């Protein structure tokens, strides 16, 4: 039988969806101990529980025989099954749509991967630009709003990488395109600039706004929420459009910072908005 080549998106989606505690506990009786689970190791003749599973790290480890890995590895080792088969099996179980890769599409995908890497860089550089602007004279009103009206400490402002988009039409554009020499098309694809409807050229999507970076679970900036600082500037919140990196429907603000506490306490409180 021909083994299909799985699309990396499918593998990533299955990896995100599959829960190691769920999978291991089908084969091993697990007991909760602190934030982890322990049980008898299925990979060696275990007399006392030396097998530990961490839901936070999505990882298992045996202190006696050294077996360890993620959910894929567990199923591969336990069932002596190939990688693709395990992923397909989990895809079915977690209802992840399966995409396979045709040879002709591999090159396009390769380009897409480097595109994503370039976009990550552009968005990260933009985030630093906004952060810097918040602490410049331009950002004085925005900073006063955060500290004075919202009561945020400098530590929180730094931790959340809050920033300020200056009021000009081409401030970020000038920095990213003219100074840093990022290709215009990529800066547009990152959702940071918008083509003019009349004539040629681009303008900054976010102007005179408080900038709140939106991070993925791995802590990488993928987009922004921009809050207006004056009542005349509508809308009150302007978000990045959906891009190659940012999918509004699949992103939960703050998850990168909360995930450890969520797995520790087995609970989460989801609220609306960026600021309390
Ligand atoms: Zn073991």
Residue 260 has pLDDT above 50, yes or no: yes
Q: For 151-201, how does the pLDDT look when each residue is reduced to its tens digit (9 = 90+)?
A: 999 999 999 999 999 999 999 999 999 998 889 999 999 999 999 998 889
- Calculate how far, in angstroms, residue 77's C-alpha sits from the geometric centre of ligand 1: 12
- Calculate how far, in angstroms, residue 264's C-alpha sits from the geometric centre of ligand 1: 25
Same domain, 167 and 217: yes
- Calculate how far, in angstroms, residue 24's C-alpha sits from the geometric centre of ligand 1: 13
Q: For 106-163, how does the pLDDT look when each residue is reduced to its tens digit (9 = 90+)?
A: 666 666 667 888 899 899 999 999 999 999 999 999 999 999 999 999 999 999 999 9
Q: Answer whether residue 167 is part of any domain.
A: yes
Given a contact cutoff of 8 angstroms between Cβ atoms, the answer to whether 94 and 17 are in contact is: yes
Q: Answer whether residue 103 is part of any domain.
A: no
In the prediction, which pLDDT does 201 show? Answer: 92
Mean pLDDT score, 85-89: 90
- Calculate how far, in angstroms, residue 59's C-alpha sits from the geometric centre of ligand 1: 14
- Taking the alpha carbons of 190, 191, 194, 195 in that order, is the dihedral positive or negative? positive
- Calculate how far, in angstroms, residue 45's C-alpha sits from the geometric centre of ligand 1: 7
- Calculate how far, in angstroms, residue 37's C-alpha sits from the geometric centre of ligand 1: 14
- Calculate how far, in angstroms, residue 50's C-alpha sits from the geometric centre of ligand 1: 7
Same domain, 70 and 138: no
In 3D space, the residue among 130, 114, 141, 143 whose CA is nearest the CA of residue 171 turns out to be 130
Q: Answer whether residue 56 is part of any domain.
A: yes
- Calculate how far, in angstroms, residue 81's C-alpha sits from the geometric centre of ligand 1: 19
Q: What is the CATH number of the domain that holds 222?
A: 3.90.980.10
- Calculate how far, in angstroms, residue 68's C-alpha sits from the geometric centre of ligand 1: 9
DSSP 8-state symbol, 237: E
Q: What is the CATH number of the domain that holds 48?
A: 3.90.580.10
Mean pLDDT score, 41-60: 93
Q: Answer whether residue 101 is part of any domain.
A: no
Q: Answer whether residue 17 is part of any domain.
A: yes
Identify the three-state secondary structure at position 91.
Answer: helix
- Calculate how far, in angstroms, residue 61's C-alpha sits from the geometric centre of ligand 1: 8
- Calculate how far, in angstroms, residue 263's C-alpha sits from the geometric centre of ligand 1: 24
In the prediction, which pLDDT does 76 show? Answer: 93
* More confident site: 93 or 218: 93
How many structural domains comprise the chain? Answer: 2
Tell me how far apart the alpha carbons of residues 203 and 167 are, in angstroms, rounded to a whole number.
Answer: 11
Same domain, 207 and 118: yes
In 3D space, the residue among 215, 236, 239 whose CA is nearest the CA of residue 225 turns out to be 239
Q: What is the pTM of this model?
A: 0.62
Same domain, 41 and 115: no
Residue 2 has pLDDT above 70, yes or no: no
- Calculate how far, in angstroms, residue 76's C-alpha sits from the geometric centre of ligand 1: 15
Identify the three-state secondary structure at position 181.
Answer: coil
Q: For 201-258, how does the pLDDT look when each residue is reduced to its tens digit (9 = 90+)?
A: 999 999 999 999 999 887 889 999 999 998 787 888 999 999 999 988 888 888 888 8
Q: Answer whether residue 272 is part of any domain.
A: no
- Calculate how far, in angstroms, residue 84's C-alpha sits from the geometric centre of ligand 1: 24
What residue numbers bound the domain in which 81 lies?
Answer: 8-93
Task: State the helix-helix crossing angle for 83-93 and 8-17, rounded to 10 degrees.
Answer: 60
Mean pLDDT score, 90-107: 79
- State the pLDDT confidence band at 68, using cuts at 50, 70 and 90: very high
Tell me how far apart the alpha carbons of residues 44 and 94 are, in angstroms, rounded to a whole number.
Answer: 29
- State the pLDDT confidence band at 1, using cuts at 50, 70 and 90: very low
């Amino acid at each position: 039988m021909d083994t299909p080549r799985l699309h990396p998106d499918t593998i990533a989606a299955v990896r995100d969806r599959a829960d190691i505690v769920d999978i291991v506990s089908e084969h091993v009786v697990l007991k909760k101990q602190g934030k982890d689970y322990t049980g008898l190791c299925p990979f060696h003749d275990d007399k006392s529980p030396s097998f530990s599973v961490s839901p936070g790290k999505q990882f298992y480890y045996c202190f006696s025989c050294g077996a360890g890995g993620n959910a894929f590895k567990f199923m591969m080792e336990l069932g002596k099954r190939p990688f693709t088969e395990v992923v397909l099996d989990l895809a079915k179980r977690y209802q992840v749509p399966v995409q396979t890769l045709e040879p002709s599409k591999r090159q396009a995908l390769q380009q897409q991967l480097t595109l994503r890497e370039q976009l990550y860089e552009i968005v990260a550089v933009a985030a630093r630009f906004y952060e810097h602007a918040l602490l410049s004279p331009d950002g004085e009103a925005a900073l006063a709003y955060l500290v004075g009206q919202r009561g945020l400490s400098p530590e929180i402002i730094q931790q959340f990488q809050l920033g300020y988009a200056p009021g000009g039409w081409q401030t970020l554009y000038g920095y990213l395109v003219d100074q840093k020499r990022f290709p215009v098309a990529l800066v547009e694809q990152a959702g940071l600039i918008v083509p003019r409807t009349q004539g040629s050229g681009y303008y900054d999507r976010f102007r005179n706004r408080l900038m709140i970076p939106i991070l993925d679970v791995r802590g990488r900036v993928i987009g922004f929420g921009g809050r207006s600082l004056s009542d005349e500037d509508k809308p009150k919140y302007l978000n990045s459009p959906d891009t190659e990196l940012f999918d509004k429907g699949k992103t939960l603000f703050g998850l990168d910072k909360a995930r450890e506490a969520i797995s520790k306490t087995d609970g989460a409180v989801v609220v609306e908005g960026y600021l309390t």
